[in-house]
Structure 1
Amino acid sequence: MTYNVAILGASGYTGAELVRIIATHSSLNIVGLSGNSKAGQSMAQVFPHLRHLDLPVLTTIEDMTFDGVDLVFCALPHATSQRVISELPAHVKIVDLSADFRLRDPEAYEAWYGQPHAATELQESAVYGLTEFYRDEIAKARLVAGTGCNAATGQYILRPLIAAGVIGLDDIILDLKAAVSGAGRSLKENLLHAELSEGYSAYAVGGTHRHLGEFDQEFSAIAGRPVQIQFTPHLMPANRGILATAYVSGDAATIHQTLTAAYDAEPFIDVLPKGEYPSVKQVRASNFCHIGVVADRIESRAIVIGVLDNLTKGSSGQAIQNANLMLGLPETEGLMMAPVYP
């Protein structure tokens, strides 16, 4: 069976990534594309690498019709999705790639994003979209809130360890490197080639990064008590990819066994042999996440490293993985493409 889907915000990086993946998906058919700033243009004009595809012309959201649409991917900027999603027809399932519905507590949302939530009734019903841990809820949901790409990477390497009680909870340090596409496609001075290339910098230092709201929410729920990690993200001069390094207290062998057991049946998460550690190049343009565990020279300390592609497993690939569940399709459909290398 084929399902009709629309992509709102198709002129951004995650929108283009959705189109790229859906192009080889046997059960999804793109019937609508919006891109308000590019309305009237073809996807070939906006993204020449997609010119071989027969796609609808970009339009404004207001000019779109959702008759016959089964599912909408909402790849709009943060704080925009709330209004748009609240006005979508009730029959449409929604996968939101923005931050608008990730936090369950309206007060937490306001604290991290600086404004009240405009659709709290939808916020209450949204299911957090970390597929491997919310699979059953996602399958029954109307609205799924995709995770932050940084938040997904950190959770993949830490969630099973917190749940199993094999690491200390009061001294977790997460050091993360993120590629520039995670900042979106809009023009920003600090993302110009001359500003970014040949450099490497921290940002949102001291606990100000908004993905910490997701870490607080999820890790505290797993542990049954407040858990706050120390987290510093860094911007690296690369187009795609995230590498997260967690420094934790615990036995490295036990940590490796715990992660291996947790992900043994997962098609997209691969725990490497003990002592090996991954590179972002190994997962580029794929829906895979690789994890490595190494014992530290300090006794009872370990280093856990995770990598994924921020645009795929961290966003658009995750969105399609969730859409597959929501539509009753095989979870891996359209997503088993091999990474691009080199």
Structure 2
Amino acid sequence: MNYKIAILGASGYTGAELVRLIAGHPSIEISALSGNSKAGQSMAQVFPHLRHLDLPVLSTIEDVDFSGIDLVFCALPHKTSQDVISKLPKTLKIVDLSADFRLRDPAAYEKWYGNPHAALEMQKEAVYGLTEFYRDEIASARLVAGTGCNAATAQFALRPLIAAGVIDLDEIIIDLACAVSGAGRSLKENLLHAELSEGAHAYAVGGTHRHLGELDQEFSAIAGRPVEVQFTPHLIPANRGILATVYVKGDAQTLHNVMKKQYEDEPFIEVLPIGEHPSIRHIRGSNFCHVGVVADRRDGRAIVIAALDNLTKGSSGQALQNANLMLNLPETLGLTMAPLFP
């Protein structure tokens, strides 16, 4: 059986990544694509690397015919997404790639995103879309909220360790490097080649990054008490990838054992042998996340490193993984492509 889907916001990076992935999916057909600023153009005009595909012309959201559509991917900016989703037909399954439904507490959403939530009833029913940890809830959900790419990377490195009680919850430092596509496709001065290349810089320093709202929510829920990590992201001159280096207090071998047990049956999470550490060059263009545990020179301290592609496993690949579950399809369908190298 083939399912028909629509992608709202198909003219952005995550929308194009969804098209790339779904093009090789045996059970999903793209029936509608929206991109308000590019309406009337073909995907070949907006993304020439997709010109070999037979795709619908981009339209405005208002012109999308949702009759016969089974599931919608919403790849729109936050604030826009909640308004659009609240007006969609109630029969649709929805995977939202924005931040609008990630935080369960409306006060937390307002704190981190600067405005009151405008679709509170839908926010209550949204399921957090970290597939490996919310699989059963996602399978029966109507609305799934995709995670932030930085938040997903940090959680793959830390959730099993927090749940197992093998690290000091008050001594967690996350040093994260993110490629430039994580900032979206819109024109920004600091993302110009001359501004970004041949350098790297920290941003949102001091605990102001919005993805901290997700980490506070998820880590505190696992621990049963408030957990606030130190987190500093860095923008690096690369197109794709996130590398999270996490410093913790705990025994490295114990941590590695916990990770191996947690992820041994996960199709997309690879735990490296102890002492090895991952690189973004080894996961680029794939739905895989590589995790490594290395002992620090000081006894009782360890470094956990996680790497994933921010556009695939951190966003669109995760969204497709969730959609497969929601449509009662094999979770790995359309997502087993090998990473690109070199």
TM-score tier, shorter chain, comes to over 0.9
Q: How far does residue 118 in structure 1 lie from its aligned partner after superposition?
A: 0.3
Equivalence map 1:178-257=2 (5 Å): 178-257=178-257
Matched residue, 2:22: 22
Q: Deviations over 1:108-150 (max 9, x none)?
A: 0000000000000000000000000000000000000000000
Secondary structure in 1 aligned to 2:174? strand
- Taking structure 2 as the reference length, what is the TM-score of the superposition? 1.00
The question of 1:320 aligning with 2:320 is answered: yes
Q: Deviations over 1:276-317 (max 9, x none)?
A: 001001000000000010000011000000000000000000
Equivalent in the alignment of 2:284: 284
Partner of 1:300: 300
In the alignment, structure 1 residue 113 sits paired with structure 2 residue 113:
yes
Q: Secondary structure at the match of 2:205?
A: coil
* DSSP 3-state at the match of 1:199: coil
User: Quick one: distance in 2 between partners of 1:205 and 1:298?
Assistant: 27
| Rounded Cα–Cα distance in structure 2 between residues aligned with 1:101 and 1:90 | 16
2:160 corresponds in structure 1 to: 160
Gaps of 5+ in 1: none
What letter corresponds to residue 67 of structure 1 in structure 2?
S
Structure 1 residues 59-91: Cα deviation after superposition (integer angstroms, max 9, x where no partner): 000111100000000000111110100000011
Amino acid across the alignment from 1:207: G
| Deviation (angstroms), 1:178 | 0.1
- Superposition misfits of 4+ residues, deviation over 6 angstroms: none
Provide the residue aligned with 1:264 in structure 2. 264
CA distance in 1, matches of 2:221, 2:79: 25
- What value does the CA root-mean-square deviation take over the aligned residues? 0.3
Structure 1 match to 2:69: 69
Query: Which string of whole-angstrom CA distances, capped at 9 and with x for unpartnered residues, describes residues 19-71 of structure 1?
Result: 00000000000000000000000000000000000000000001111000000
CA distance in 2 between partners of 1:82 and 1:242 (Å): 27
Deviation at 1:183, TM superposition (A): 0.2
State the AA in 2 paired with 1:277.
Answer: H
TM (normalized to structure 1)?
A: 1.00
SS, match of residue 61 in structure 2: coil
1:294 maps to a residue whose letter is: V
Counterpart residue type for residue 131 of structure 1? T
1:104 match: secondary structure: coil
Tell me, in whole angstroms, the C-alpha distance in 2 between the residues paired with 1:53 and 1:301. 50
Q: Find the aligned partners of 1:266 and 1:249 in 2 and give their Cα distance.
A: 26
**Structure 2: distance between partners of 1:270 and 1:24:** 23
Measured in 2, the distance between the counterparts of 1:119 and 1:188 equals: 29
**SS of the counterpart of 2:292?**
strand
Are residues 1:333 and 2:322 paired? no
CA distance in structure 1 between the aligned counterparts of 2:257 and 2:250, rounded to whole angstroms: 12
The DSSP-based 3-state class of the residue aligned with 2:233 is strand
- Aligned partner letter, 1:183: A
The DSSP-based 3-state class of the residue aligned with 1:167 is coil
The answer for the alignment partner of 1:128 in structure 2 is: 128
What is the match of residue 60 of structure 2? 60
How far apart are the structure 2 equivalents of 1:218 and 1:239? Answer: 28
Alignment partner of 1:51 is 2:31: no
Question: Which residue in 2 is equivalent to 1:41?
Answer: 41
Q: Give the deviation of 1:164 after TM superposition.
A: 0.1
2: distance between equivalents of 1:105 and 1:278?
A: 34
Equivalent residue letter for 1:244: A
Structure 2: gaps of 5 or more residues: none
Take 2:143 and 2:118, find their aligned partners in 1: how far apart are those partners? 16
Q: Which amino acid aligns with 1:181?
A: S
One-letter amino acid of the structure 2 residue matched with residue 336 of structure 1: T
Q: Which amino acid aligns with 1:209?
A: H
Query: How far off its partner does 1:160 sit?
Result: 0.2
Query: Aligned equivalents of 1:75 and 1:287: distance in 2?
Result: 18
CA distance, structure 2, for counterparts of residue 127 and residue 85 of structure 1: 14
**How much has 1:100 moved relative to structure 2?**
0.3
User: For residues 183 and 100 of structure 1, what CA distance do their matches in structure 2 show?
Assistant: 17
- Could you tell me the percent identity over the aligned residues? 78
Letter in 1 for 2:27: S
